[in-house]
A and B are shown apart, each in its own frame.
Chain A
């Protein structure tokens, strides 16, 4: 059943109209509808230290956008501004505008925002609970009234984990392998049906086989979810994303279709970074 669902999802993704970045630079309402996040003149400060400088970027709907750049360039900081996760760090400040479907996220209720914009971190961080309760957790605290069993199964299926855990749902999440734990975290994030999934180096601690599963999962999630992924792995960015943004020293240097950025980058700094000549 899962494979049938995946098959139809894949077909839907392949049939989806191509989003062209040139189109995204225009401002007609029809084309605006293709944009999930619109970030304008974003600056971010850790105390007195500025980490992001005047960043402008449009993140298209139902596509994967990869953020690449050397360590400390601000890509994870930027990712965390998209669901205001940086607010958990003291003495931080955001200046600029981030629109989610046209709404200013800085003026939104933060709990509601994080329900719409889920996050998966570098190291799998399941709760010390059963597999089932991990997935059900978000639903319960949001007062979900429907059939929990169905939604837990649906979320685990979307995270391509159901077949591996369906007979052990009440075992501790810590009994799972690293790759399974990471997919469990993705299932947990998907349970509340977010519009956006932010992934901060989700595969850096995983082996190549598990990494391939997560990348395949991202491909299949595209028809229902917009994703932004921070990765240090150029090959992963090239394989798994539709658009790539290259950041350096807190600035967005170049943003284009992934196939273009990795074959004919326009900025010499992008070229130097992706060919491994610095960073």
Chain B
């Protein structure tokens, strides 16, 4: 006989994934608002921010209720703690998407600095990290979570590359400083999105195996 608690946990997972899909879509739309110079996409991201924030509060309340009423242990306890942390990461991803959308609106008022080459690659990588981290949550897949962790360095390298390139443009032509600076902010936000996906992947390893891999230098286990 399936316990009512398991039904509640499954429902919580579905709500978390729904929030994840909202955050994922927000990132995709925000980046394409920049790449395709599409203001309507940026507006859509701003309009959906509240939905993600409301989901955060709903999920927090569900976690709080289950912790208080079910007094979970072991894997169930770890799962609820992980959901609570992932919830915070998804809300932050939503915020980063809003930042990118706001940058997009400002960038659109100026001529394009350069053809976008690294930015689409960086956004594809960051979006894939978010998608795979959420898939790892659904399947409890530690191998997939591990691949997300490994990809974080690639995003960081692309951010550094973009920074260098855009600095060069700014030094050569002061009229592009405003747009180039906004693009640097976009890259910074994408890099942060990668970091949040990494956090989610670490939480997957925590709730599946009980291993805390957040700070390897501390070498706890």
Give chain A residues whose Cβ lies under 8 Å from the Cβ of B71. Answer: 234-235
Q: Evaluate whether A276 and B3 lie within 8 angstroms (CB atoms) in the complex, with A262-B73, A264-B74 already known.
A: yes
Residue B210 is within 8 A (CB to CB) of chain A in the complex: yes
Residue pair A271, B5 in contact (C-beta under 8 Å): no
* Chain B positions 145 through 182: 1 when the CB is less than 8 Å from some CB of chain A, otherwise 0: 00000000000000000000000000000000000000
Residue B51 is within 8 A (CB to CB) of chain A in the complex: no
Give chain B residues whose Cβ lies under 8 Å from the Cβ of A234. Answer: 71, 73
Residue B77 is within 8 A (CB to CB) of chain A in the complex: yes
Give chain A residues whose Cβ lies under 8 Å from the Cβ of B210. Answer: 263-264
Nearest B-chain residue to A277, judged by Cβ: B3
Cα A262 to Cα B77 in complex, Å, equals 9
Residue B43 is within 8 A (CB to CB) of chain A in the complex: no
With beta carbons under 8 angstroms apart, the residue of B3, B5, B73 that contacts A238 is B73
Give chain B residues whose Cβ lies under 8 Å from the Cβ of A271. Answer: 74-75
Number of contacts between A and B (CB, 8 Å)? 30
Q: Evaluate whether A275 and B78 lie within 8 angstroms (CB atoms) in the complex, with A263-B210, A264-B210 already known.
A: no
Nearest CB of B to A105, in Å: 33
Residue B76 is within 8 A (CB to CB) of chain A in the complex: yes
Q: Which of B68-107 contact A (CB under 8 A)?
A: 71-78
Q: Which of A226-273 contact B (CB under 8 A)?
A: 234-235, 238, 262-265, 270-271
Cα A270 to Cα B74 in complex, Å, equals 9
Cα A275 to Cα B78 in complex, Å, equals 11
Nearest A-chain residue to B221, judged by Cβ: A264
Residue pair A263, B78 in contact (C-beta under 8 Å): yes
Cα A20 to Cα B100 in complex, Å, equals 50
Q: Evaluate whether A276 and B74 lie within 8 angstroms (CB atoms) in the complex, with A263-B210, A264-B210 already known.
A: no
Residue pair B78, A274 in contact (C-beta under 8 Å): no
Give chain A residues whose Cβ lies under 8 Å from the Cβ of B75. Answer: 271, 275
Give chain A residues whose Cβ lies under 8 Å from the Cβ of B78. Answer: 263-264
Cα A97 to Cα B72 in complex, Å, equals 37
How many residues on A have C-beta within 8 angstroms of the other chain's C-beta atoms?
Answer: 13
Q: Which of B1-55 contact A (CB under 8 A)?
A: 3, 5
Cα A235 to Cα B69 in complex, Å, equals 12
Cα A277 to Cα B72 in complex, Å, equals 12
Give chain A residues whose Cβ lies under 8 Å from the Cβ of B73. Answer: 234, 238, 262-263, 274-276
Nearest CB of A to B202, in Å: 15
Give chain B residues whose Cβ lies under 8 Å from the Cβ of A263. Answer: 73-74, 77-78, 210
Give chain B residues whose Cβ lies under 8 Å from the Cβ of A262. Answer: 73-74, 77
Q: Evaluate whether A276 and B77 lie within 8 angstroms (CB atoms) in the complex, with A263-B210, A264-B210 already known.
A: no
Give chain B residues whose Cβ lies under 8 Å from the Cβ of A264. Answer: 74, 78, 210
Give chain A residues whose Cβ lies under 8 Å from the Cβ of B5. Answer: 276
Give chain A residues whose Cβ lies under 8 Å from the Cβ of B74. Answer: 262-265, 270-271, 274-275
Nearest B-chain residue to A271, judged by Cβ: B74
Nearest CB of B to A219, in Å: 20
Cα A182 to Cα B17 in complex, Å, equals 50
Nearest CB of A to B78, in Å: 7
Cα A270 to Cα B73 in complex, Å, equals 11
Nearest CB of A to B4, in Å: 11
Q: Which of A125-159 contact B (CB under 8 A)?
A: none
Give chain B residues whose Cβ lies under 8 Å from the Cβ of A274. Answer: 73-74
Nearest B-chain residue to A261, judged by Cβ: B74
Give chain B residues whose Cβ lies under 8 Å from the Cβ of A265. Answer: 74
Nearest CB of A to B211, in Å: 8
Nearest CB of A to B99, in Å: 36
Cα A271 to Cα B73 in complex, Å, equals 8
Cα A277 to Cα B78 in complex, Å, equals 16
Give chain A residues whose Cβ lies under 8 Å from the Cβ of B72. Answer: 275
7 cross-chain CB contacts under 8 A: A262-B73, A262-B77, A263-B210, A264-B210, A271-B75, A275-B74, A276-B5
Across the A-B interface, give the 9 residue pairs with the lowest CB-CB distance, nearest first: A264-B210, A274-B73, A275-B76, A271-B74, A262-B73, A275-B74, A274-B74, A265-B74, A275-B73
**5 extra A-B contacts, CB within 8 A, seeds A271-B75, A274-B73, A275-B73:** A234-B71, A263-B74, A265-B74, A276-B3, A276-B5
